[in-house]
Structure 1
Amino acid sequence: MPRPRQALLTRERIVAAACELVDADGLDAFSTRRLAAMLGVRGPSLYNHFATKDEILDAVADNVIADVDISMFTRLEWREALRDWARSYRAALAAHPNIVPYLARGPGRRHTALTMADAVYGALVRAGWPPARATHVGALMRYFVAGSSLGSFARGFVGDPGIYDERYPHLSQAHRLADHQRSVDDGAFELGLRALIDGLSRTYEEVVGPLSPLPPTAQAH
């Protein structure tokens, strides 16, 4: 029989299927056996493209990070850049929360993750942050964004008002939180982001020197 014109299996197909599996069932349930079955191939076929299971997960993780916009670090003042980057970063992770624990290990050898880390660190150092402090800022932002992407605060409260009886006198409206999940979670993120950048601005002035005022449009955001 003539060979097919296109390979039945590609790295892109493997990564897309692996991402779907992780999104659906989490990291603990992910296996190359399940991935091969989903793709309709034998397990060893995967190893023509990836040497190990971790290489597949690395590719999934880098695909997620590829959705993060880092262009602002070449065109915006560092405070504005951190703000816009954090929003884009959170959106990418929140779309795939099950991969976040894997991403939290750090960039490893992943090209896209290292490119993002380089962009953030480079922008902070160019702005005058001492290298050690720039490292701290990058780590702090990652902790904050990753934590906010792992789950929903609002959805953690059940909708049964009977749960919140006299033992929890300050939670009489907690059963309503899940109905306002987006506004609660987005509001908490934005409040935390503003507090972080305000605090970092004060630290910058203590460590480096005075900051120029942001333009009014940037302050409004």
Structure 2
Amino acid sequence: MPRPKQALLSRQLIVETAATLIDRDGLAVFSTRRLAAELGVRGPSLYNHFKTKDEILDAVADTITAKVDVSFFATHDWREALLLWGKSYRDALTAHPNIVPFLAQGPGRRPAALAVADAVYGGLVKAGWPPARATHIGALMRYYVAGSALGSFARGFVEDPQLYAAHYPHLSQAHRLAGKSESVDEGAFQLGLEALIAGLSGIYETVVVKNLQ
């Protein structure tokens, strides 16, 4: 039987399929066995491209991180850059919430994640932030964005008006939140991000601007 002209597997196909499985079924049940079955191959075939399951997860996480736009730090004031980057960062994570716990562990050796960290840190230091503070801001943004992407505040309330009317009078409209989850969650994120940047601006005036005078 002649050998196929194209390889059945590629790194890209493995990563795309793994991402689909994680999006669909969750991170907890993801395994190389399930991935191989989805691809219609034997498990050992995967190891021609990736040595371990964690290498596959790293590749999935980095593919998602590569969608985050950090170009703003080269063209915008640091405040506007943080705002635009934060939105892009959240958009990438909320599209794949099941991988967020793994992705949030840190950049490790992931090229795209390290490129993001480099751009953010470099942009903040260039704007005048002390290196230690630039590191803190990068960490703070990761905590905030990753946390916001892990779940929906609005969808945490059930659509049962009797539940709230009977026992929680101040939550008489809470049953409507689930139906407005997108506007509620995005509005909360935007408000928090603006408040965070406003607070940092005050610190910047004290830490950076006064030292330059």
TM-score, length basis structure 2:
0.97
Distance 2:101 2:108 in 1: 14
1:128 aligned partner: 128
Q: Report 1:132-151 matches (<5 A).
A: 132-151=132-151
SS of the equivalent of 1:183 reads helix
How far 1:167 moved relative to its partner?
A: 2.4
Distance 2:76 2:36 in 1: 44
2:38 aligned partner: 38
Q: Deviations over 1:32-80 (max 9, x none)?
A: 0000000000000000000000000000000000111111111111000
Identity of aligned residues (%): 71
Q: Deviations over 1:162-190 (max 9, x none)?
A: 11134212101000001111111111011
How far 1:2 moved relative to its partner?
A: 2.3
Where does structure 1 lack aligned partners over 5 or more consecutive residues? Answer: 211-221
Q: Report 1:196-207 matches (<5 A).
A: 196-207=196-207
SS of the equivalent of 1:16 reads helix
Distance 1:56 1:179 in 2: 36
Q: Report 1:79-90 matches (<5 A).
A: 79-90=79-90
Where does structure 2 lack aligned partners over 5 or more consecutive residues? Answer: none
Q: Deviations over 1:182-208 (max 9, x none)?
A: 111111011001000000000111111
1:55 aligned partner: 55
Question: In proportion to residue count, which structure has more helix?
Answer: 2
Number of aligned residue pairs? 210
Distance 1:48 1:5 in 2: 18
2:175 aligned partner: 175
Distance 1:98 1:171 in 2: 29
2:72 aligned partner: 72
Matched, 1:152 2:181: no
Distance 2:167 2:161 in 1: 12
Distance 1:39 1:182 in 2: 34
Distance 1:3 1:40 in 2: 17
Distance 2:40 2:96 in 1: 24
TM-score, length basis structure 1:
0.93
Q: Deviations over 1:75-125 (max 9, x none)?
A: 111000000000000000000000000011100010100000000000000
Q: Letter of the aligned partner of 1:34 in structure 2?
A: R
Q: Letter of the aligned partner of 1:182 in structure 2?
A: E
Query: How big is the alpha-carbon RMSD for the aligned residues of Structure 1 and Structure 2?
Result: 0.8
Q: Letter of the aligned partner of 1:30 in structure 2?
A: F
Distance 1:198 1:34 in 2: 46
Q: Letter of the aligned partner of 1:112 in structure 2?
A: A
